[in-house]
Amino acid sequence: SQQGEEDPQALSIQEGENATMNCSYKTSINNLQWYRQNSGRGLVHLILIRSNEREKHSGRLRVTLDTSKKSSSLLITASRAADTASYFCATRNSGYSTLTFGKGTMLLVSP
Amino acid sequence: DAGVTQSPTHLIKTRGQQVTLRCSPKSGHDTVSWYQQALGQGPQFIFQYYEEEERQRGNFPDRFSGHQFPNYSSELNVNALLLGDSALYLCASSLLRAGASTDTQYFGPGTRLTVL
């Protein structure tokens, strides 16, 4: 079963704009991770935020985590056409090392 | 440093047949997890292998089985294939050994299975 729900399901923006994707989950977590997937191929790990962290940055990526609301957001600043992909949040639940994924957000960045 | 590799890339089978998918983990990793990703969905956890044993299992029937070899590579076997088994099968590797475990899983490119 899916743990997380990403919102929106699809997002279309112009190059240079910012893209924000949200993720909600249901159970207590150890950490939350964001992955990118191009054209239905393998997933690429983007960033991990632990349950005791509230915000994390990596290059043009900014992730926030609100454990009281069981939600996270991924912000991609100054988007590029190469950012076009599907983005998934995945949670690692306490006591387990496996990941539970949401259904993903499809991002389209137009030149 | 080789990443996670999977074979084959694509596979077409008919209902009732059996299939074996293969995965080699990233160098230095000792744990392999398998995921099934149906079209338009997120990956769903099938099972995880560590020290040649199934460590955790998701909500998949016994038709799905696996194996891990001493070199940490792994196989996923699916018996009595159904149309609904058509999906992208992803393998992910990580490090679980005490004192060195990592939270990040590294994914292979996947095997696309089509069942006709």
Q: Residues of A numbered 17-76 whose beta carbons fall under 8 angstroms of chain B's beta carbons: which are they? A: 30-31, 33, 35, 40-45, 48
Please tell me whether residue A45 adopts helix, strand or coil conformation. strand
Place of tokens 């047949």: B17
Is residue A2 predicted with pLDDT exceeding 60?
no
Residue of B40, B45, B112 with shortest CB distance to A98? B45
Share of chain B above pLDDT 90, in %: 84
Q: Give the pLDDT score at B99.
A: 63
Residue of B42, B56, B110 with shortest CB distance to A41? B110
Q: Do A40 and B88 touch (CB under 8 A)?
A: yes
Q: Give the pLDDT score at A72.
A: 96
Bridge partners of A109, per DSSP, are: A13
Q: Give the pLDDT score at A4.
A: 67
Tens-digit pLDDT profile for residues B45-98: 999 999 999 999 999 999 999 999 999 999 999 999 999 999 999 999 998 776
Tens-digit pLDDT profile for residues B5-24: 999 999 999 999 999 999 99
Is residue A1 predicted with pLDDT exceeding 90?
no
Q: Give the pLDDT score at A84.
A: 97
Do B44 and B88 contact (CB within 8 A), yes or no? no
Tens-digit pLDDT profile for residues A66-86: 999 999 999 999 999 999 999
DSSP strand pairing (B111-115 vs B87-94) = antiparallel
Chain B interface, best mutation among A48, A89, A97, by max B CB count within 10 A: A97
Q: Which stretches of chain A are assigned E, i.e. beta strand?
A: 5-7, 10-14, 19-24, 29-37, 43-50, 55-58, 61-66, 71-76, 85-93, 99-101, 105-110
